[in-house]
Structure 1
Amino acid sequence: MRSAMSADRWVFGYGSLMWRPGFDWAERRPAILQGRRRAFCIYSVHHRGTPERPGLVLGLTPGGSVRGVAYRVTADLWPEVQAYLREREQPTETYVEAEVTVRLDAGERAPCLTFLSDRRHPQWAGSLSLEAQARLIAGASGLSGLNIVYLRDLVAHLRDAGIRDRSMERLLVRATELGREEGMEPGSCV
């Protein structure tokens, strides 16, 4: 049995993969990735914005650490899961597929597939100020809906998982204020 589990693979999620993985998994564990942080660092011109009014989506950018979820996927399902993740996470190739090592909740380490922000991609927004991020998020909308809903979902799901990401919480407060100023009804976005 040990040899079968050693062929299993892990996937690290730090955003919507945490609450909506979309694939079958054998085990789900809290995990921390050192050296990367969760950030709204990628312009969205389809799902959460348009070319005329881009929004922002999450990525992993260098620095700090990020709490997320690691999923263990059995070896027999791995090819299907990997194909699904590539299709889901790389429609515009703004992410780079990478293997990282995370620390699981009991302290052991596991190599995981994750998707890092491609800093050479034209949609790379970089390190925008909180104000610039909030302005983009407050008024953007795309195929998947309002950008602020994506941020609200993130903060709510992180809280449900016992994760306090103060930078995301501050961003939500400011984007909500700006949304009200622009006439967006925050209550209707949830």
Structure 2
Amino acid sequence: MPRTSSTTMRSPANLHLTSDLVSRTLRVVEEEGPEPNWTPISPEQLDQLVGRVEKEAGEEEIWVFAYGSLMWNPGFEVAGIENAVAFGWHRAFSLRIERLRATSDAPGLMLALQPGGSCSGLILKLPCATKKEDLRKLLAREIRYVEVCDMVRWVTVKTRTGTRRALTFWASPKQSPLTDKVPLNEAAALIAQACGPAGSCAEYLHRTVVDLAERQIFDRSLWQLQKLVAARLEALPPAINPA
């Protein structure tokens, strides 16, 4: 996802992780290639994945369940939007990364859906006129490697108008230990240290909790996590950001 400075985001008054703290995590990081030991998805494999999703969707509109960065940076022209809850799922920083917003020397975590609980978010409709192009762009952004091709699936979500089937991205247990459940203290340590070419993990967390707060969505786990990350960053001296 493209890097966007967290300094443009207003933090809720009771949010511990502020844009000033996030700025301490940002630095210029050069691209290092693909994730170690992961296989970049080829254009042909991406086309196959697009075809699979199109076949599963049939003639229906495609809605995407957004619970993290897709809420504040969907990457496509949204044709429709509804509040939604996915029961049987919860958001968690559980996908281990060494690229994008991290490096091999300072690995980090990104959000994914884990089984259990419930998750409040949004469903976003792909425009009918550009559905195939937008779907391919979305899958290319979220599914960068062959090893995570099974991390795209359909879930049933509840909206104010009833239930819908929506496409989403989850933490497949087949990829353990990439998607093992990470204790909050360990997650906070990884998020506080990680920065890559796309920005830092703390920036990603900050943007997500700010967006959730603005939408009046309270995620207890993420709220605890941002407090733990803030405490770690407060212990660091302010850094001069050359970016």
TM-score for both structures, normalised by structure 1: 0.87
Deviations along 1:146-167, one digit per CA (max 9) or x if unpaired, are 2111111111010011101121
Q: Which moved more, 1:20-29 or 1:86-95?
A: 86-95
Compute the displacement of 1:30 (Å).
0.5
SS, match of residue 112 in structure 1: strand
CA distance in 1, matches of 2:83, 2:181: 27
Q: Deviations over 1:71-115 (max 9, x none)?
A: 1224332211210111010113446111111111x1411111111
Number of residue-to-residue matches in the alignment: 180
Q: Provide the C-alpha distance between the structure 1 equivalents of 2:104 and 2:223, rounded to a whole number of angstroms.
A: 26
Moved more, 57-66 or 137-146: 137-146
- Contact 2:126–2:135, Cα closer than 8 Å, also in 1: no
Output aligned runs, 1:58-77, within 5 Å.
Answer: 58-77=111-130
Measured after TM superposition, the shift of residue 140 of structure 1 is 1.1
Q: CA deviation at 1:171?
A: 0.5
Which residue matches 2:46?
none
Q: Does the alignment pair 1:36 with 2:78?
A: no
- Which position in structure 1 is the counterpart of 2:157? 102
- TM-score normalized with structure 2 length: 0.69
Letter aligned with residue 81 of structure 1: D
CA distance in 2, matches of 1:75, 1:168: 34
What pairs up with 1:1-190 in 2 under 5 angstroms?
Answer: 7-92=60-145, 93-94=147-148, 96-104=151-159, 106-121=160-175, 124-181=178-235, 183=236, 185=238
Distance 2:203 2:70 in 1: 16
Q: Residue 9 of structure 1 contacts residue 112 of structure 1 at CA under 8 Å; is this kept in 2?
A: yes
Higher strand share: 1
Question: Aligned equivalents of 2:210 and 2:237: distance in 1?
Answer: 20
Gaps of 5+ in 1: 1-5
The residue identity in structure 2 corresponding to 1:174 is: L
Read off the aligned partner of 2:82 and give its amino acid letter: R
SS at match of 2:115: strand
Is the Cα contact below 8 Å between 2:171 and 2:179 reproduced in 1?
A: no
Aligned partners of 2:89 and 2:119 also within 8 Å: yes
Instruction: Considering Cα pairs closer than 8 Å and 6+ residues apart, tell me whether 1 or 2 has the greater RCO.
Output: 2
Is the deviation greater in 124-133 or in 70-79?
70-79
Any idea what SS the aligned residue of 1:117 has?
Answer: coil
User: How far 1:26 sits from its partner (Å)?
Assistant: 1.6
The AA in structure 2 aligned to 1:103 is K
